[in-house]
Structure 1
């Protein structure tokens, strides 16, 4: 059998009597007369099925049950009083929860600074960060399981079904085992690397960038020699350190300093080496907290640009 609901008004009256231990003074505090207050306390005791006060002609004292309920009743009233302020903060985007997906390359460079900066500006917005590849993020964004996500792709290949903000564009570089003969070169010409075995990300997680890398080889009349696939950029670099091959990675991955791996640029300023774009994607009509984050992101992107 469900318990009857107790109105906040009754708890407010209970707290007033408990703090004054005097029905007359409590009634004055509540701007009411004493008889209705006495009736209200009796009603509360009936609803709870316990006595809250011991009354005599000379004194009013809390029972053990009343003393135990007093701090909880105070807390209940304080939280109820705070609800309108909290509701306005959520509606204004100054509080709430924001679920952000991110690919590992964003975690190497821009994400740490952005998280620190946004939390400093909006400390009441709870950021939930979820590392996931693009093929995982896109369905989650469509379902609403994520509010926004940092995606990696070739320039111009952001998903058409989502709004997006270009965050950064960077060239691919080669991760090379430290003991490899090519590791001593400051920069490499493309023909020198086309015959080398590769550690590569699967096409399903980064189709546009995967196709751009394969297109680079096909344009030179070569077929990439993929010896191993891996999903996370950290794993790819670790496999490079094990000597399994070279790997094309976004330049920001250089922040991941793995012993046994060096990073080298390929070609010059007019090199055909593909570019990688990081974008922030979200569904139309974002919630208020995401609006705040988008405004922050646009400022950061302009500064970076």
Structure 2
């Protein structure tokens, strides 16, 4: 009886992949999915067009599936091709990150930490914490990935990261724990030239003529904007842009009557008294809107957090925000 008669199809394909597929073929798949041209993909991975065509054909023979199909403007992945490239992209990214860590160890790093962070936590926690940590551990290599918690937390759970600095998740596996490190709130910011900058106890109604830069979708501060700001300012206007990038925000806030709702953690170092500050926090009345945000903190394994991470967090608890 043949192996395929009694072995699940997935195991058969996995066995073929591990025995016959080369990393260069996987690189080719990613390049081809990105540019849609075998000529451009071959050049990107330093292969001739004929070698790239042969490599793709060999991979399709191994899997006995079509991975790409031709169309009027080039090539596009089939369902099987898209499924494989989605997985390959993650594998290649992890290999690249591992190579960076190995390079740091070869150059003298004594240990490594892999951290994920959302932008707010990077600004409010890691920027300060890493400076303190390196004073005591100058030979530790730290790889920091910035992104959304929805992307970073699965990497932590699968073992690709040692910790994620983010807002308190609504749900975590029981093997993981969240520790709050920074209490946060939503604040209204404007250019230092805005007429309300410097005024005390600004009422939300005074922003009725303002034009808002929208917070990015699917984050806590956007919920506050839609729930509390828009309900009290039904005639509010906004730019056709949603962002949490300070460089983009600072440019838009230079427009007349422009304001934005941001986490205080992102703009914590913006001093209203400074003439060099391009955006500053307005002094709104405390009851203007419900401004509390979920705290920023760190998610890690409950029982198996790396010792270096424990030492890093001890620094934070000692020095405080």
Report the TM range for the smaller structure's normalisation: 0.5 to 0.7
Q: Where does residue 300 of structure 1 map in the other structure? A: 316
- In the superposition, relative to structure 1, how do residues 217 and 242 fare at CA in structure 2: closer, same or farther (>3 Å)? closer
Matches within 5 A, 1:7-22: none
Note if 1:248 corresponds to 2:248.
Answer: no
Counterparts of 1:224 and 1:138, CA distance in 2: 35
Match of 1:126 among 137, 141, 164: 141
Q: Where does residue 286 of structure 1 map in the other structure? A: 304
Gaps of 5+ in 1: 1-93
Q: Secondary structure at the match of 1:188?
A: coil
Counterparts of 1:160 and 1:266, CA distance in 2: 35
Matches within 5 A, 1:165-176: 165-176=179-190
Deviations 1:30-81 (A, max 9, x none): xxxxxxxxxxxxxxxxxxxxxxxxxxxxxxxxxxxxxxxxxxxxxxxxxxxx
Q: Secondary structure at the match of 2:249?
A: helix
Deviations 1:95-147 (A, max 9, x none): 52111122333343432331122223334432112222333323332333322
Q: TM-score, normalised by structure 2?
A: 0.53
Q: Where does residue 284 of structure 2 map in the other structure? A: 266
Q: TM-score, normalised by structure 1?
A: 0.56
- In the superposition, relative to structure 1, how do residues 243 and 301 fare at CA in structure 2: closer, same or farther (>3 Å)? farther
- In the superposition, relative to structure 1, how do residues 95 and 173 fare at CA in structure 2: closer, same or farther (>3 Å)? same
Counterparts of 2:303 and 2:251, CA distance in 1: 40
- By relative contact order (CA 8 Å, sep 6+), the higher-ranking structure is 1
1:284 shift after superposition: 4.3
Q: Where does residue 215 of structure 1 map in the other structure? A: 227
Q: Give the number of the structure whose alpha-carbon radius of gyration is greater.
A: 1
Counterparts of 1:225 and 1:132, CA distance in 2: 28
The 8 Å contact of residues 102 and 131 in structure 1, kept in 2 or not, is answered as: yes
Q: Where does residue 106 of structure 1 map in the other structure? A: 121
1:199 shift after superposition: 0.9
Counterparts of 1:99 and 1:189, CA distance in 2: 44
* Number of equivalent positions: 205
1:278 shift after superposition: 1.3
Deviations 1:156-189 (A, max 9, x none): 5554344211111133222113333323423411
- In the superposition, relative to structure 1, how do residues 239 and 215 fare at CA in structure 2: closer, same or farther (>3 Å)? same
- In the superposition, relative to structure 1, how do residues 184 and 114 fare at CA in structure 2: closer, same or farther (>3 Å)? closer
The 8 Å contact of residues 119 and 146 in structure 2, kept in 1 or not, is answered as: yes
